[in-house]
Amino acid sequence: MGKGWCLFFLFWPVAAVVSCAMAPMVGWSFPYDNAQAASNLGIRIDGLFYLILFVTAVVFVGTQAVLVYALWRGSSNRDERATYTHGNHKLELIWSIIPGVILLFLALYQMNLWADFRIKKYFPEAAVKAPIAEVTARQFEWRFRYPAIGKELQPKPQSDDLYSVNELHVPFGKPVMIQLRSEDVQHSFFLPALRIKQDALPGLQIPVWFEANKEGVYDLVCAELCGWGHYKMKAHVIVESEADYQNYLKNLTQQQFYDGLGKIAANENDSESEATEK
Ligand SMILES: [Cu+2]
C-alpha cells in the first residue's frame, strides 16, 4: 500500500478538526447570535453536545492517527510482514469496557437535563400552573389557542378563547408552557434558537416548556416530514415584554369579537356584553 493512502486517511481527521474549529466563525455552527442558544436550557443542551463532540473527536482523531501510523510503517518497510492473529481477548475487553463506561457516564450525566426538559414534574411550577396556549400542528400550519384575558387555558375550547395562526406570542422573563397537539399526522414543534424540539402526535396532548433568555422573534418550524406542504410550516414565536403581550391579546380579542358595528362582543367586559344582549 502506497503512501498516498496514508495522506488520504490523514486528510480526514485534519479536515474535520479544522472545519469544526472554523464553524462558529463562518456561520456553519448553531443558528443565532454567535451560535449561543436563546434559552438557558438550550445553553445546557449545547454543553452536552460539545461534551459528546469532544469525546467522539478524541476517539476519531486517535483511531485515525493509529491507522495512519500503521499504513505509514507498512508502506515504508516492505520486508516486514504483517502477522495474522485470531482475536485478542484482553484487547476486546478493553475496547468494550471503555465505550461502555463512557456511555454510562453520559447517560447519568445528562439525566438532570433530560428531566428538566421533558418530565413535567420538573418543569418550572409557574409555567405548569398556567399554560400559555394550546398549539395544534396540522397540515400545513400551526394553530394557537389562548385563553381569554384573565382566564386559564381549558382542555376543551371555550367560546371566548383567542385564536391565531403561525404567530405565537409569549411574555418575556418567565418560563412558559404550551400544550402541543396534532390534528392529523405526526409533526414536530422545533424552535432551533432555543434548542426545543418535541414531536406532536395525533391523539396526545404533550406539555412543552421554554424560556427565551432575551426578547425577540424566533423561528418555529416543523421538524417532521409531514406531507407535501411541510416546508410551509414556518412560523414564529415572538417573545415580548409583558405589556406588549397583554396588548397583543387585547388586539386579538378586538379583532376576533368585533361585531362589525363598532362593538366588541367579547367577554372581556362581561357586564357590558350582557347589557348589550338584553
Ligand atoms: Cu408538519
DSSP 62-117: HHHHHHHHHHHHHHH-SSSPPPP----HHHHHHHHHHHHHHHHHHHHHTHHHHHHH
The Å distance, Cα 262 to ligand 1 centre, comes to: 38
The Å distance, Cα 233 to ligand 1 centre, comes to: 6
Q: What is the pLDDT of residue 271?
A: 43
132: nearest Cα among 231, 270, 1, 240:
240
Q: What is the pTM of this model?
A: 0.82
Find the mean pLDDT for residues 2-25. 87
The Å distance, Cα 139 to ligand 1 centre, comes to: 6
Q: What is the pLDDT of residue 1?
A: 58
At 4 the three-state DSSP class reads: helix
Residue 33 pLDDT more than 70?
Answer: no
Residue 2 pLDDT more than 90?
Answer: no
Burial class from Cβ neighbours inside 10 Å (0-12, 13-18, 19+) for residue 73 reads: exposed
Q: pLDDT over 70 for what percent of the chain?
A: 92
Residue 154 pLDDT more than 50?
Answer: yes
At 233 the three-state DSSP class reads: coil
Q: What is the largest CA-CA distance in the chain?
A: 106
The Å distance, Cα 142 to ligand 1 centre, comes to: 9
Q: Is residue 219 very low, low, confident or very high in pLDDT (cuts 50, 70, 90)?
A: very high
The Å distance, Cα 54 to ligand 1 centre, comes to: 33
The Å distance, Cα 187 to ligand 1 centre, comes to: 4
Q: What is the pLDDT of residue 73?
A: 86
Residues near 82 by beta carbon (within 8 Å), at least 6 away in sequence = 74
The Å distance, Cα 190 to ligand 1 centre, comes to: 10
pLDDT digits (tens, 9 = 90+) for 85-142: 888 899 999 999 999 999 999 999 999 999 999 999 999 998 999 999 999 999 999 9
Q: pLDDT over 90 for what percent of the chain?
A: 65
- Rounded to the nearest 5°, which phi and psi values hold at 224? -125, 125
The Å distance, Cα 104 to ligand 1 centre, comes to: 34
Find the mean pLDDT for residues 29-46. 81
